[in-house]
Structure 1
Amino acid sequence: MDRRWLLRTGVVATGAVAFGGSLWRSAMAAPAMPGPSPYGPLRAADGNGLRLPEGFRSRIVARSGVKVPGTSYTWHYNPDGGATFATYTENGWIYVSNAEIEAPRGGASAIRFAGDGRILGAYSILTGTDRNCAGGPTVVGRRDTSARWLSGEEVSRGQIWECDPRGQRAAVARPAMGKFTHEAAAVDPVRQVVYLTEDRTDGCFYRFRPTTFPDLSTGVLEVLCSSSTTTGPVTWKRVPDPSASGTSTRYQVAGVQRFNGGEGCWYEDDVCYFTTKGDNRVWAYRAATSELGLLYDDDLTVSGTPLRGVDNITMSHSKDLYVAEDGDNMEICVITPAGVVATFLQLEGHAGSELTGVAFNPAGDRLYFSSQRGVNGAGGVTFEVYGPFRR
């Protein structure tokens, strides 16, 4: 069995289970539990307010309302979901970031880096849209000029916008992917589908099947359905009217499974991981068997869990899942393949903000993220952390 499939086959209705002894050993798997970080304890905060493990260092690469260092481009406010894209030139990469601002000031920006981390440029890749929150890349980890950033609008009847991270082609709306309160997106290149989360307290989990992959202009939007409220086998049913012209997409199909505040989403090795902030869970959908499970649920952990306010997620080369917090004590936590959840970093002095846009560069040795509102709401700050990440 894939070691990433760290999921229980079911959760009792009360949410109270003793995970230990023979039950622990005989279960297929179990939700992640707090434990020692593979990186060791955090040091005192550095000059940027970041508490990091030994061997790691940080820098600020952008601030809202200020020109990106070495460029003439002013960074957007409320930076949210982000991703990186490998470039052919300079052995570098591009980091893209959404602007979660009301229309017409929403959109997305990008910073281009050289292979040694130098900033080479910054520019806009999407403008005039509404509350661009999360999204996802269409291609992960390889140099591909067809790779696109899928930017989701977190508003009623919001859309997915397909954006060129290089800024060479105009962004295009993809209404066939549904009009609803979009959050994140994750592409399954094996089954040629896109998974989509919805940020509503009674939201759904969707997948989009393009008519001709990877063209996202036409296709079928489906919603996850189940007889359970937690884990187990699931099915998919077609959404009759993705445009939601009369009825919201989440109310068009009977038997849907509800998710409390869908947030981050990531596909890896047959599994799509996604978070729900309303109940502080990390879910996993295993596509090969069409099963849903729980990777993390703070109601089922021992006391002292470091992870609350789950939001944007990404995965490292070592298959560790990194989860950013919206609020709580402003941490990015790691969930290891061994089923341990621990703090990787903590940002001090940014109370009232949230951590967003977690993404690794293609080499896997630099992690990007933002404090969306910064210190006392003064403006977002986008960070880079460099160091000996696990391989």
Structure 2
Amino acid sequence: TWLTCEETEDRAGTNGYTKDHGFIFEVDPVDPHRTGAVPLTAMGRFQHEAIAVDPRRGVVYETEDAFERPFGLFYRFLPEKPLGGRGSLRAGGRLQAMRVPGVPDLSSIQETGASFDRVEWVDVPDPLADGTPIRFQDFGRGGITHAQKLEGCYWGGRSVYFVSSFAHSDEGSAADHYGQIWRYDPERRRLTLVIVFGPDTDVQLPGESPDNICLAPSGGLMVCEDGNGAQHVFGVTRRGEVYAMARGAQNIGTEEEPEWGEFAGVTFSPDGGTMYVNCYTPGTTFAVTGPWRR
């Protein structure tokens, strides 16, 4: 099965909704009616963006793309029945949010390679956000760590990678950047900034506003852009070098004022021979053959 996320936290009675929104749902790709539209409420009600699953422990990591300050949190969900198969997430579990001691806002970290040990995970007081959105809730004296535009999330190797697409101080972030990619190693409880694109980044070149990500067969990352200017799929090597893989050529604007649709959903076939990636508008899926392990 796969998990799909609602990127809204609107309540019943607003915008024509008859039910609360902001949940994760499990979908059977062969027979969607088998699982039904049952919200996995224990996994939290907020503006979900992406999830990644630790295949050895069954822990689910979640990003929150909150549009307003205080910005979103990075979560983990500890299932009651880890790796229990289809429907097991309905049994519930514990939702926790990441606290990096001394770092209330990830945007303040601007040095590639910066690393933080002893990352803490704090139980979410009210996962259903019945009275207060989770990011506003009281996490105790140590507070909690926020970040603007938390988006892509992917498990690779022994770590989970997640993205902050950008941060703007004039919108409430502690500092400016055009994208951060983070890696969290659960065994070491270590958070590392893999790469940061500074505020002077040229938006016409590959390497800004990262969104969806995945681990490439070569061991580096493959990244979809969702920003201003040209739209790329670009790679990040293990040494932190950025290289262009593709540039969007489908103009959804005008000849005088061109606009390019964002790339999304990059992934590789199980044998590592084909990369699949979507263009959001116009809806297009591309298949790109390798060799990808070089």
TM-score between the two structures when normalised by the length of structure 1: 0.58
Q: Does 1:188 align with 2:87?
A: no
Asked if the contact 2:59–2:77 (Cα under 8 Å) also holds between the matched residues in 1, the reply is: yes
SS at match of 2:35: coil
- Quick check: which one's strand share is greater? 1
CA distance in structure 2 between the partners assigned to 1:370 and 1:267 by the alignment: 20
Residue correspondence of structure 1 range 26-37 to structure 2 within 5 A: none
**Structure 1 unaligned regions, length at least 5:** 1-147, 375-379
The Cα of 1:213 is off from its aligned counterpart by 0.8
CA RMSD of aligned residues (A): 2.0
SS at match of 1:216: helix
Q: Does 1:347 align with 2:231?
A: no
CA distance in structure 2 between the partners assigned to 1:368 and 1:175 by the alignment: 31
Question: Deviations 1:261-314 (Å, cap 9, x if unpaired)?
Answer: 111101122211011112311111111111212111011899896211210111
Q: Does 1:363 align with 2:266?
A: no
Q: Does 1:166 align with 2:51?
A: no
Asked if the contact 2:231–2:260 (Cα under 8 Å) also holds between the matched residues in 1, the reply is: no
CA distance in structure 2 between the partners assigned to 1:301 and 1:285 by the alignment: 26
Amino acid aligned to 1:199: D
Structure number with bigger Rg: 1
CA distance in structure 1 between the partners assigned to 2:202 and 2:7 by the alignment: 33
CA distance in structure 1 between the partners assigned to 2:116 and 2:250 by the alignment: 41
**1:301/1:158 Cα in 2 relative to 1: closer, same or farther (>3 Å)?**
same
Report the equivalent of 1:151. 4
Report the equivalent of 2:162. 274
Q: Does 1:222 align with 2:88?
A: no
Amino acid aligned to 2:161: Y
| Higher relative contact order, chain-length normalized (CA < 8 Å, sep 6+) | 1
**1:192/1:183 Cα in 2 relative to 1: closer, same or farther (>3 Å)?**
same
CA distance in structure 1 between the partners assigned to 2:201 and 2:51 by the alignment: 31
Determine what percentage of the aligned residue pairs are the same residue: 36
Q: Does 1:309 align with 2:206?
A: no
Report the equivalent of 1:335. 236
Q: Does 1:284 align with 2:183?
A: yes
CA distance in structure 2 between the partners assigned to 1:310 and 1:384 by the alignment: 20
**Structure 2 unaligned regions, length at least 5:** 10-20, 110-114, 168-178, 252-258
Give structure 1 regions of 4+ aligned residues with deviation exceeding 4 angstroms. 300-305
Q: Does 1:261 align with 2:164?
A: no
Question: Deviations 1:234-278 (Å, cap 9, x if unpaired)?
Answer: 200000211111111112224111111111101122211011112
